[in-house]
Chain A
Amino acid sequence: MKGFYRLLNFEFAKWLAFIAAVCAVAIFAPPIMLHRQLKHYSEYAVNERFEEVYASSGSVLLFLILFALVCAFFLITVYADYWGSKSVYTYLTLPVRREALYFSKAAALVIGLLLLLTAQLIGIRLGYSLYESKIAGYGDGQFVMRNGYFLAMVRSEFFRLLLPLSFSRMLSSLGLLLVTATGLYYVALCERSRKYSGFVVVAAAAWLGIRVLGYRLNETSHYGEPTGLYMSTVLLFALSGYFVWHGLRLVRRGAIA
């Protein structure tokens, strides 16, 4: 356990500067982008709802870019072990269980993704305060919606994806996060150990993830029975479990060397 703790902190130390920068961008860039978007808002202009201004300011796109950056950075930390000093050999000879090696990297990625998510949510909250103070400044406050932050959070599909308020959607979002983290690591492990057949499972997971995302981002247009999404969530968890199980096997056998 102590070995894992040390390895985890060692891994996470590589992330510190990078994730701090990502979080700073996720927190402070949306308000700045919103501010730009709100420049022409006045009592004579059409005042869109917060969630629309947020999306049109590019903040949703920004989240996607930051998300991709975090994933790319993770791959860099994995592949860096094979470049230059080839420290992967050192890792594999460390007097710790190889599971600790696997979980330290995976946990560092999960923490990184969680930090990004939280930072993005803080950015949304800050952005709403900015939006509200701007539109409250003219037209006798007629443009302010009471309880507007809550209404934006429940009405916007993107916000509901990041901050779900019902049990089935929370599980679904968690499943998406886990399958992304474990799947990404699994891709790297398969490539390193030349087990290319693993890509098929990853492709299946990606297809499922995209299906779920597509559904979650367009829920009102579905005419069928409302679904609890439990089936897809179970599949997402099962796939994550498979990625961990097989990834661990690859690491344990030293196939990744």
Chain B
Amino acid sequence: MDKIKRHAALPALAAAIAIFVALTASTYQAKDNGTFEVRDLIGSREAIGDVAIRGELRDGVHRTRFRIEEGRMRADTELFEQPKQADFYRYVPGNSLRSGGMEYSVQNTISLHTIQSRRLTDQGYSIPVGSAEVVPPPIRRDSDDPNEGFRLANPPEYGLARIGDSVYYTVPVSSRFVGASAIYELKFYQWGFRSAIDPKDYAPRKLADLPLDANESGQGTGIEILGLEAVGDRLALIFAENGALHVRSYDVRTGEPLGEATVPEFRLPAREGDSGASGVASFYEGYEAYPDHERSTLTLNFRRGSSVADRIDMTALSFGFAGGVELADRTDLAFSDGEEDTHSGISLLSYRDGKLYAIRSYRGPETEQPRALFDIVRPKHLYAYVYEQSKLIYKGEIVTDWNEDNIRVYNQSPYQGSFGYDQTDYRYFTNVVIE
């Protein structure tokens, strides 16, 4: 015993250090032990062999970047030096436009649309930088209509597009607007200095005229501008006229129209003057836009009224902008994999080489996990779909452990109170991209 006592210190130190290092190493090595795999549900995985799908699954303390290339999944986990706040941004059509570290939003009145630019910071807030103004075209009065004068075809942010350092805007006019509208290149003045500037110096540059003669008579559905999108270095104007959808491309320097594609039989719901051609499905005006600047394509996704319960019906229209504009693909999509996740859902479309790729996330039905009694913790799923010539040829699920973060809420009843849902404690997908 005495002998042990005379030499105990250093072995004790060595043992403590050895165990500590071993525990640290084994914990660190466990970082990539989570599930990350692709499960084929329909068709063969070869369908996604031509593209790479990448993205990340993160919470407040770590993130796993994954990449599916040639059908194989690779994932690598990174621990944050310091826990990070959740990044809540996701593409929601009609919300502020984000581009190049800036955020643009529109405040509109009958006589003036003010576009505000804000610089985004890493800490999740933004700083106002500049403002620009556009005068909208006049509105045809109709004293019978209680909503007189307050209708745009879409939220005004649909009319924003950014190419390089320039921001373009057109008012998403409804058929109530008359006279002439235009596509403008905006000129921003310092935010907050409205009274100190001469508005003439900051008048927007008119790029292209958009006559609204079709709206003068008040007969028929007239012309409605649904939005403006940037595709590479071209502008794409999306508008509906005479029961058809038009996509017109503009040269961003000269404002010359470069071509136009027309999709016939395109009805917007509940429009005055609509003769109501029966049998033609109506499309909701709030579209999602997925431009591919490298390949000069633009995929527009229009929601349709669904006749089947729990099914989401959409039509994806893909346009090529290489020469003029041409409709490259039209695919009717019908998803019945669950409810849309409005909180942190992923929605992505990409058209290339004759195939339409879709990545979408859903909340599963209530029956999938009966222990999850709050909607927000119902199991979620992320799927990849591939369509070729409007036919679904592949569907796969990107399987991870993200739903297990909800286990702590199982059996928690809404009748016993609530629980704190802090996104830093629950993993979520973000930055999902098709390459």
Contact = CB atoms under 8 A, between A and B. Distances in A.
A98 interface: no
Given A121-B20, A154-B62, A111 B410 contact: no
Contacts of B84: 220, 226
Given A118-B23, A145-B405, 9 more contacts: A8-B9, A9-B7, A44-B411, A46-B412, A111-B13, A121-B23, A145-B404, A166-B79, A219-B83
B82 interface: yes
B61 interface: yes
Chain A binding site: helix, strand, loop or mixed by DSSP? Answer: helix
B165 interface: no
A150 B16 contact: no
B320 interface: no
Contact of B28 (A47, A48, A165, A220): A165
A19 B20 CA distance: 17
Given A122-B19, A165-B27, A165-B28, A108 B9 contact: yes
Given A146-B401, A165-B24, A114 B85 contact: no
Please provide the 6 A-B residue pairs with the shortest distance between their CB atoms, ordered closest to farther.
Answer: A12-B9, A150-B30, A226-B82, A114-B16, A13-B5, A220-B83
Interface of A: 6, 8-9, 11-13, 16, 19, 43-49, 52, 107-108, 111, 114-115, 117-118, 121-122, 125, 139, 142-147, 149-150, 153-155, 163, 165-166, 168-169, 219-220, 222-228
Contact of A46 (B85, B122, B410): B410
Nearest to B409: A46
A48 B408 contact: yes
B12 interface: yes
B255 to A, nearest CB: 43
B81 interface: yes
Interface of B: 5-10, 12-13, 15-17, 19-20, 23-24, 27-28, 30-31, 33-35, 59-62, 79-85, 122-123, 371, 401, 404-405, 407-412, 424-425
A223 B121 CA distance: 11
A156 to B, nearest CB: 9
Nearest to B28: A165
A139 B62 CA distance: 29
Given A220-B424, A226-B84, A146 B9 contact: no
A124 to B, nearest CB: 9
29 contacts: A6-B6, A8-B9, A13-B6, A13-B8, A44-B411, A46-B412, A47-B410, A48-B408, A49-B408, A108-B9, A114-B13, A118-B15, A121-B20, A139-B371, A143-B410, A145-B401, A147-B401, A154-B31, A154-B79, A163-B27, A165-B24, A166-B79, A166-B81, A220-B60, A220-B83, A223-B85, A225-B122, A227-B82, A228-B81
B27 A12 contact: no
Contacts of A122: 19, 23
B408 A115 contact: no
A66 to B, nearest CB: 15
Nearest to A125: B23
A115 B12 contact: yes
Given A12-B9, A16-B8, A118 B79 contact: no
